[in-house]
């Protein structure tokens, strides 16, 4: 792979607007962020949305409006989170697919998430996977711990390849309760990924202080990058993130130093099996 897929995750469901004023929570803020990040080199946007009070929501009307606005305003691949907040019920998380995103996340197992539990039962995973196959939505399989790659093997062997035929995983590293954000953990995952279908690709996400080590390790192992204020609100020690663009610009710089420049949205679509618009 000679280029780098860069995903921006601008909002998430954990940080509050009161604590992080730069967090994009309105539709206008999200669209403006998306346009700026695309201009810098992002090709995918991983989307969580907020309600009128800036609280995490899976409201269907807001999801549909967000997908429509991002498709109209950018060429980015629109990937909705099916994770939502850790308190969201399974039915609401499955209904995310009704908003017809081009991609959606599919987490491969339950994980302790700080003081909470991010629940992903086997039946729920299968439901997400098969619904995406039926609706022409490309999944990104989110991996919080090494064993979840084995769960993905089981899923694919029992229920077939995803829509588009290409398997892409995102290694979410550094969550308290999941795998550490270290080069050694990434290498262990990269070895396990070799047991998945030929051509499987991976991105890596470093949470908090693991952001930079994970970016560098992923690039050196031939992987791709996910960055954004969902994953870190600190740019450096004692220095808050000013915007998602700041994080994307740093990822682009690292990718260029690795001589693996950012993929365009069109190139990303070709890689991942996401249909052209």
Token code pair at residue 172: 């979410």
Q: Is residue 276 part of a domain?
A: no
248 in a domain, yes or no?
A: yes
Confirm whether 195 is domain-assigned.
Answer: yes
Cα 162 from Cα 166, distance rounded (Å)? 7
pLDDT value, residue 272: 98
Domain total for the chain? 1
Q: Taking the chain (277 residues) in consecutive chunks of 10 residues, what is each chunk's mean pLDDT? A: 92 95 97 98 98 96 98 98 94 97 98 94 98 98 98 98 98 97 97 96 97 97 97 95 98 97 98 95
Report pTM: 0.97
Residue 244 structural domain: 6-267
Q: How far is CA 186 from CA 15, 60, 119, 128, in A?
A: 26, 35, 23, 26
Answer yes or no: is 75 within a domain.
yes
Q: Is residue 26 part of a domain?
A: yes
Q: Is 273 inside a domain boundary?
A: no
236 forms beta bridges with: 239
Distance (Å, whole) CA 246 – CA 214: 17
Contact 224, 203 (CB under 8 A): yes
Please give the C-alpha separations between residue 140 and each of 65, 113, 171, 234, in angstroms, as whole numbers: 22, 19, 10, 25
| Domain annotation covers residue 93 | yes
Res 13: pLDDT: 94
Return the number of other C-beta atoms located less than 10 Å from residue 162's C-beta: 25
Which residue from 230, 233, 242, 270 is spatially nearest to 7, judged by alpha carbons?
A: 230
**Is residue 39 one of the residues assigned to a domain?**
yes
* CATH code of the domain containing 146: 3.20.20.70
């Amino acid at each position: 792979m000679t280029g780098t897929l860069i995903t921006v995750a601008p909002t998430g469901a954990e940080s509050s607007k009161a604590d992080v004023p730069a967090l994009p929570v309105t539709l206008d803020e999200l669209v403006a962020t998306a346009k700026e990040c695309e201009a810098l080199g992002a090709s995918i946007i991983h989307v969580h949305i907020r309600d009128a009070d800036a609280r995490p929501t899976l409201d269907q009307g807001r999801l549909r409006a967000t997908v429509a606005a991002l498709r109209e305003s950018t060429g980015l691949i629109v990937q909705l989170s099916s994770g939502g907040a850790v308190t969201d019920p399974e039915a609401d998380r499955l209904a995310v697919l009704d908003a017809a995103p081009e991609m959606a996340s599919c987490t491969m197992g339950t994980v302790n998430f700080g003081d909470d539990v991010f629940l992903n039962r086997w039946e729920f995973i299968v439901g997400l996977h098969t619904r995406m196959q039926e609706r022409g939505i490309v999944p990104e399989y989110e991996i919080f711990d090494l064993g979840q790659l084995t769960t993905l093997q089981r899923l694919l062997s029992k229920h077939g390849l995803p829509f588009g035929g290409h398997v892409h995983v995102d290694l979410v590293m550094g969550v308290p309760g999941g795998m550490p954000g270290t080069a050694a953990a990434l290498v262990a995952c990269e070895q396990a990924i070799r047991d998945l279908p030929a051509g499987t690709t991976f991105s890596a996400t470093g949470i908090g202080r693991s952001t930079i080590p994970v970016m560098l390790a992923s690039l050196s192992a031939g992987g791709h990058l996910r960055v954004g204020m969902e994953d870190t609100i600190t740019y450096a020690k004692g220095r808050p993130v000013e915007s998602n663009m700041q994080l994307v610009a740093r990822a682009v710089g690292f990718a260029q130093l690795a001589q693996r420049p950012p993929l365009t949205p069109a190139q990303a679509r070709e890689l991942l099996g996401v249909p052209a618009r």
